[in-house]
Amino acid sequence: MNSPLRLGLAGLGTVGASLARLIEAKAETLANRVGRSIEVVAVSARDRSKDRGIDIAGLAWFDDPVALASEAEIDVFVELVGGADGPAHEAVKAALGRGIPVVTANKALLAHHGVSLARLAARKGTEILFEAAVAGGIPIIKTMREGLSGNSVSRVYGILNGTCNYMLTRMEAEGIAFDDCLADAQRLGYAEADPTFDIGGFDAAHKLAILTSLAFGCEIDLDSVFIEGISAVTNDDIAAAAELGYRIKLLAVACRTDTGIEQRVHPTMIPSSSAMAQVNGVTNAVAVDSDLLGSILLAGPGAGGDATASAVLSDIMDVAGGVLPPTLGLPPAKLAPYKRARMRAHEGGYYIRLSVYDRVGAFASIARRMAENQISLESIVQRKLPGAVDPSTAPVVLVTHETTEAAVRKALEAVSKDGHLKGEPKMIRIESLN
């Protein structure tokens, strides 16, 4: 049996406490598997006296995670503090500076500083592992970094935010309105008191930016992600989608185009018959399209203490077994600069929902604006709903054939100016899945 692997664990929240418990409870299994014991020897958290169901009496205590990372006698620094900057960033830099590998679940840290940290790690002969930073317990980082290592990826996409998927699933299944659904999600702990980071699409964007780098061998560029959250999705949209054979998901997509790499997070209609459309509740899923494999899909728990701890633990086990793959799948010097594809050049189908005043010529005017912008329509549905609130307008649903974002925006702007619409036009992008 080799010498024990000594962990310094910064952050004893849900995931950190879960990890500490697991390492103790599964000590023998883990040691059997990897040929050495794994031991937490030093910890750092805000409150030393809090009861977390773990015994920290025998461990070195640090009030400051940076001090732990800088001074503790450890073989691996496990960062579960969170946050892009501040102590988490400083502590990770300190550990890497000592040549100590870092295991982290911190998506914000990676999305903002992943490339510079990977460079620091490489200079110091070590690496950062971050399986838990994207899609919780799903081993998507390992899969993309190692399992697909001979593949050229054309698109990676997925359901990366459990809060949004939980809400959209319930809105569809039970017909609950967005606001009621959000209140429920908050009550049940699936959404934060300030839900903006989740339902605004920002959480998914962080994860997508990391996946983009692994998929295309390029630098991480969070600022280039086009982001649209789910707060404008209504039960009517969901019902219309169902009639058209689609479900609405908050999809995060990165794909290679002629002009660069597109990164976008937005409510998306996907075919109801696809495996991705069956991903319900807080479950996450990621699909990768590549030259050799066609398409693969991974689905599983996107959050939760144990699931996230499982991902952290698999990274720790890799380090214990002597495996230190390049942080972003490639040596940092080989990463290409990120080349952004403009969202206006995005090509795809669109679902458009208009509230049209019931006037002669309104529909002809809308159809002309579409034609002027070379948008051809796959389907057009206009009908009065029984019990419609406003008898002077009719909902019109258009589904376009493949067109561009620029054309759709231009057409909708013109339609709006023509004065036939009550309120703003509504648009949801459609994603073709293999």
159 binds a second copy, rule: CB under 8 A: no
Structure tokens at 323: 């495996």
Give the closest residue to 324 by CA, choosing from 127, 76, 93.
127
Least distance in angstroms from the C-beta of 382 to a second copy:
32
Which sign, positive or negative, has the C-alpha torsion 22, 27, 30, 36?
positive
* Amino acid type, 300: G
**Alpha-carbon span 287 to 285, nearest angstrom:** 7
Q: Catalytic: which of 93, 207, 249, 426?
A: 207
Instruction: Say which DSSP state 85 is in.
Output: S
Residue recorded with tokens 């699933």: 169
**Are 72 and 64 a contacting pair, CB within 8 Å?**
no
Residues flagged as binding site: 10-17, 107, 192
Question: Total residues contacting a second copy (rule CB under 8 A)?
Answer: 56
**Are 332 and 215 a contacting pair, CB within 8 Å?**
no
The region of 26-34, 222-230, 374-382, 398-406 touching a second copy under the rule CB under 8 A is 26-34
Residue recorded with tokens 């290679």: 256
325 binds a second copy, rule: CB under 8 A: yes
The region of 21-29, 53-61, 181-189, 246-254 touching a second copy under the rule CB under 8 A is 21-29
Count CB atoms within 10 A of the CB of residue 153: 21
* Amino acid type, 293: L
214 binds a second copy, rule: CB under 8 A: no
Least distance in angstroms from the C-beta of 317 to a second copy:
4
The region of 201-209, 296-304, 385-393, 413-421 touching a second copy under the rule CB under 8 A is 296-304
Residues flagged as binding site for L-homoserine: 192
**Rg over CA atoms, the chain:** 24
Active site residue 124: no
Report 369-408 residues binding a second copy (CB under 8 A). Answer: none
Structure tokens at 295: 């398409």
For a second copy, give the closer residue by CB, 4 or 326.
326
Catalytic residues: 207
Binding site for a second copy (CB under 8 A): 22, 26, 29-30, 32-35, 131, 137-139, 142-143, 146-152, 273-275, 277-279, 290-301, 306-307, 309-310, 313-314, 317-318, 321-323, 325-326, 329-331, 334
